[in-house]
Amino acid sequence: MATTLRPENAAAAAPSFSTPSGIEVPAVVGPEQVNPESIGVPGEAPFTRGIFPDGYRGRRWTMRQYSGFGSAEESNERYRFLLGRGQTGLSVALDLPTQCGYDPTDPIAVAEVGKVGVSLSNLSEMEILFRDIDLSAISTSFTINGTAAIILAMYIAAADKAGVPRAALTGTIQNDILKEYVARGTWIFPVKPSMRLVADSILFANEQTPRFNPISIAGAHVRDAGCTAAEEIAYTLCNGIAYVDELLRRGGDIDRFAKRLSFFFYVHMDFFEEIAKFRAARRIWARLIQGHYGAVDKKSALFRFGVVCGGSSLTAAQPLNNVVRVGIENMAAILGGAQSVFTCAYDEAFQIPTEQSAELALRTQQIVADESGIANTVDPLGGSYFVEYLTDSMEAQIDAIMTEIADYGGAVKAIEDGYIQMRLARSARVKKNQTDSGERVVVGVNKYASEEEAVQVGEVFKLDPGMRNSVIDKFNAVRDQRDNAAAERSLELLGRAADGEDENLMPYLVDCCHAYATVGEMVTTLKDRWGEFQEPPLRG
């Protein structure tokens, strides 16, 4: 006769599992493992169940698709294509020369013009990029950091030229320089003057563009560089603390600037851990802003965030599998309470997405929104024993990492010394070893892999070979046709202001953009005063 296991015996006999962050996954979680007082209700502190009482029933998340390549003309065409198919926000990808502060004619930049994003070297290109797009009716996100203040100034100048009131602008500029030093590498200036630029842009935006988020404190890139979900949140919140401290030092009002702080993360494949990390992050941020910094306005403590579903979790091998991955990650983002979502295209692991793959990525969000039903009730997983257990465990692990960074001297010191970079490198090595050994399963890569040649699916994106020359020709034409005396004068005034300590540089950057000064010229003006960041050696 077969023996039937009782539930408690079945749980005891189950193999041991843990999340990628190392949190134990019990076979069964019961009410005794959950703290009911920490759950709360949606829209109320500690915001475990979301920052809005009506969730997505009040308003759906913004659907963005990260896009930008080649010339401003080509990217404008792609933007209008996506908007015509129901996208509700734009997410602008910029090429490496623009990100690193080089003009397209610079010898170091020529080979990279338009390759991983759109070339955007001056106001004329910004005007082309948004031609026939109403800036007052669309939310625009820019993934830009080292030159973020310049790109924000250029966007404001474009709105001025188009007759759009600055107060009508909505969107986000990433502007998180600290994680560039740690994970992504598009830094330019040393840490302290870079922090000044971040504070300048936030304080200026509070006055001039009150609906625009002047920073998106980003854990996404440290996650893609190899850290765990818990480290992603911890490092990001530590960076957030550094920005808050700098803004307070500059005389900012916590109950004003905190309302416009936003965050940005990746969603990877451990479904429940990803949901739990967002629930824990909301609790911790509210505790910091209200408890530690003493904010009074409830809106100051709202943890507003956008996500990318994809990134390094996608594979070039068996690329159609990525459609499933992005769908799972999209559902985790929504169950985690994201305000803005970008879904990667299945071919993004090996090329710029085609129109067909970009449309499918957008349709993934629309299917989740309109067919799955998970957005119809507020926080449908709230009260789940397992989700609440994971949330509590994630919060404890994040707190421990943040305490370690605080004890070291804070995020800025830890970055300048290379301490966080060292921790990140260690986590990345562990992750790679787990993948290489098969301990961490990646379907199509280390399990169920095919020995046959990879079959190309769908269209192949091809960059116009004449694009680079076209961009350079336009750049030279702008330099020839502008009022060069006005451009030189605006750059001189920018340099004088940069020589001081705390004068806000944003008005000078906006004036430079109106004078059609270039990104490279503005960056060079500041480099002459501030120098460049030097990477610290990794130790340990």
- What angle (nearest 5°) sits at the alpha carbon of residue 336, between those of residues 331 and 338? 90
Q: How far is CA 416 from the centre of its chain?
A: 22
- The pLDDT of 453-480, averaged and rounded, is 80
DSSP 400-428: HHHHHHHHHT-HHHHHHTTHHHHHHHHHH
CATH number, position 429? 3.20.20.240
Q: Quick check: is 195 in a domain?
A: yes
Q: Quick check: is 471 in a domain?
A: no
- Say what the pLDDT of residue 11 is: 52
- Say what the pLDDT of residue 6 is: 47
- Say what the pLDDT of residue 60 is: 94
Across the chain, what does the average pLDDT equal? 92
- The pLDDT of 235-239, averaged and rounded, is 97
Q: How many CB atoms lie within 10 A of CB 268?
A: 24
- Longest CA pairwise span in the chain (Å): 95
pLDDT reading at 415 higher than 70: yes
DSSP state of 287: I
In angstroms, the CA 518 to CA 188 distance is: 16
- Say what the pLDDT of residue 184 is: 87
In angstroms, the CA 271 to CA 334 distance is: 11
Q: How far is CA 379 from the centre of its chain?
A: 23
- Say what the pLDDT of residue 382 is: 96
pLDDT, tens only, 37-88: 889 999 999 999 999 999 999 999 999 877 777 889 999 998 898 889 888 7
Q: Quick check: is 47 in a domain?
A: yes
In angstroms, the CA 372 to CA 368 distance is: 5
The end-to-end CA distance of the chain, in Å, is 58
What's the number of domains the chain is made of?
A: 1
- Say what the pLDDT of residue 36 is: 87
Tell which wins on pLDDT, 529 or 355.
Answer: 529
Q: State the burial class of residue 517 (Cβ atoms within 10 Å of its Cβ: 0-12, 13-18, 19+).
A: buried
Q: List CB contacts of 535: < 8 A, sequence separation 6 or more.
A: 181, 418
Helix extents (H) in 135-270: 148-162, 177-179, 191-208, 220-224, 229-249, 254-257
- Say what the pLDDT of residue 473 is: 95
Q: Domain range holding 245?
A: 32-437
pLDDT reading at 32 higher than 70: yes
181, 196, 198 from 505: Cα distances, Å: 22, 9, 10
Sheet (strand 261-267) strand order:
212-213, 170-173, 139-142, 89-92, 62-67, 340-343, 305-309, 261-267, 215-218
- Say what the pLDDT of residue 362 is: 92
pLDDT reading at 360 higher than 80: yes
Q: Quick check: is 24 in a domain?
A: no
Under 8 Å between Cβ of 190 and 530: yes
212: β partners: 171
pTM: 0.92
Indicate the pLDDT class of residue 218, thresholds 50, 70 and 90: very high
Tell me if residue 265 falls in helix, strand or coil: strand
- The pLDDT of 100-121, averaged and rounded, is 93
Tell which wins on pLDDT, 38 or 6.
Answer: 38
- Say what the pLDDT of residue 158 is: 98
Q: Quick check: is 206 in a domain?
A: yes
pLDDT, tens only, 427-449: 999 999 999 999 999 999 999 99
In angstroms, the CA 91 to CA 82 distance is: 11
Q: State the burial class of residue 140 (Cβ atoms within 10 Å of its Cβ: 0-12, 13-18, 19+).
A: buried
Q: Quick check: is 467 in a domain?
A: no
Q: Quick check: is 228 in a domain?
A: yes
Q: Tell me which amino acid residue 196 is.
A: R
- Say what the pLDDT of residue 457 is: 62
The proportion of the chain whose per-residue pLDDT surpasses 70, expressed as a percent, equals: 95
Indicate the pLDDT class of residue 1, thresholds 50, 70 and 90: very low
Tell me if residue 63 falls in helix, strand or coil: strand
The proportion of the chain whose per-residue pLDDT surpasses 90, expressed as a percent, equals: 82
pLDDT reading at 496 higher than 90: yes
Q: State the burial class of residue 354 (Cβ atoms within 10 Å of its Cβ: 0-12, 13-18, 19+).
A: middle
Q: Quick check: is 475 in a domain?
A: no
- Say what the pLDDT of residue 2 is: 42
In angstroms, the CA 221 to CA 214 distance is: 18
- Say what the pLDDT of residue 15 is: 74
Indicate the pLDDT class of residue 540, thresholds 50, 70 and 90: low
pLDDT, tens only, 252-262: 999 999 999 99
pLDDT reading at 537 higher than 90: no
Give exposure, 72-89, as e/b (b: 16+ Cβ within 10 Å): bbbbbebbeebbeeebbb
- The pLDDT of 12-24, averaged and rounded, is 83
In angstroms, the CA 474 to CA 129 distance is: 13
In angstroms, the CA 498 to CA 373 distance is: 53
Tell me if residue 307 falls in helix, strand or coil: strand
pLDDT reading at 507 higher than 60: yes
- Residue length of the chain: 540
In angstroms, the CA 121 to CA 116 distance is: 15
